[in-house]
Amino acid sequence: MDRAVDVTIIGGGMITNDLLLPSIYHLQRTGVVNRINISALNAAPLKNLKENEEIRRAFPGQDFTPYPALSEPPDKKFPQLYKEVLAGLKPHQAVVVAMPDDFHYEVVMAALRNNQHVLCVKPLVLKYEQAVEIEKTAFERGLFVGVEYHKRFDRRSLIAKRRYELGHFGEFMMGEAKLIEPYYYRFSNFQNWFTAERTDPFVYVGCHYVDLVYFITGLKPVEVSVAGIKGRFLWSDGRVRFENGALLSVRNGLGYPDAAAGSNDQGLLMYCEGAGKTGLIKHDDQFRGVSYCYLEDIGCGGSRYNYVSPDFFQLVPWEGEGYKPVGYGFDSVAAIIGTIQKIDNETASLSEDESLSKRQSMLREIDARGIIATPANSHINELIIEAARISILNNGQVVNIAPERS
């Protein structure tokens, strides 16, 4: 029987509430996950997670250990507590990094120094050299780092990847992508860290679609320019050139109207060239054929009429207690945590040297397969992000990516 892995989430914010904790709770009741810890800056978000009625109904009787304890004053901050939590873990378990973008590097490195496998929300880090350091450190220790680019697990993305590889579309030439997140995001923890000098919408959500075009086509970006409308929260407009000359426009922001049917505005359009004809990939990632009108204002942003996505993440009835998560958001988390469990189980009975060699061999296989994003197979994202930050802070200056780095 497979051994379950302990999971420690660092960060108690929106993504933990909306995706990570429900997914990990389900993996716990299906035998993949054992103990669950969550460490946050203070007790307030942990209390909110404990008292979330939707999560409690979906996962009756399940719980996590909070750090700090809920008895601490809600506004008392513990910025270094996560390091103590990591130091107390047994080796080769799973650490989930769900912090603001500019904290990813230090938390991922702390997890690796404590011999933990890692699931990190996207983007992994904001600098290419940091991604290289993480890749090197993880491989030397035989530790897996998976980056949660969940759009890779959308079935339409996987279908497009296969058909592109088979030559059914031709070669990508011109495209556009957009992801405008809802206005109400501004009233979450975003207001404390989403500022021009730290990050921007291209980095935070635009990276999904740059990664997706690379995932589908295998083409590497070589140049980027991003212009932004500066303010408390940015709107951004980017252009990415790929190694074959193809161009992708990427529009992002945090301003989709709360009253609109959304909950966001997103999609991907790719035109391709073949022999004497052209091909097309078009994904409408906003309206997926489901519309609900509620009796009360319970929709996204407090609206009543909503486009509802059955594809990303939903809690639905199943044959067990409560509800289960379905969708590519869950599939992505499950694939990464399941990979960590597999690595742990296949090496648990080996000697230290044999275990390290086996883990490193498994890491190479995961990198080569290229489905789960890893530091080794997705570092183009850090190259793009680093270049985009230079560009947006310099009024849309074109920034080249050195071929030897990509």
pLDDT at 211: 94
Q: pLDDT by residue (tens digit) across 324-334?
A: 999 999 999 99
Q: How far apart are CA 200 and CA 389, in angstroms?
A: 8
Computed over every residue of the chain, the mean pLDDT equals 93
Q: Computed from CA positions of residues 132, 108, 124, 390, in that sequence, does the dihedral angle turn out positive or negative?
A: negative
| Residue 403 pLDDT exceeds 70 | no
C-alpha neighbours within 13 Å on the C-beta side of residue 368: 6
| Residue 230 pLDDT exceeds 80 | no
Residue 353: burial class (beta carbons within 10 Å; 0-12, 13-18, 19+): exposed
Q: pLDDT band at residue 186, thresholds of 50, 70 and 90?
A: confident
Range 289-317 burial, b when 16+ CB lie within 10 A, else e: eeeeeeeeeebbbebeebbbbebbbbbee
Q: What's the DSSP call for residue 327? A: S
pLDDT at 219: 96
Q: pLDDT by residue (tens digit) across 121-139?
A: 999 999 999 999 999 999 9
Q: pLDDT by residue (tens digit) across 304-358?
A: 999 999 999 999 999 999 999 999 999 999 999 999 999 999 999 999 999 999 9
Q: How far apart are CA 45 and CA 77, in angstroms?
A: 12
pTM of the model: 0.94
DSSP string, 58-85: HSTT---EEES-TTS-TT---TTHHHHH
Output the six-digit token pair for 261: 């049917």
Q: pLDDT band at residue 302, thresholds of 50, 70 and 90?
A: confident
Residue 249: burial class (beta carbons within 10 Å; 0-12, 13-18, 19+): middle
Secondary structure element (H or E) that encloses residue 351, with its range: none
| Residue 196 pLDDT exceeds 80 | no
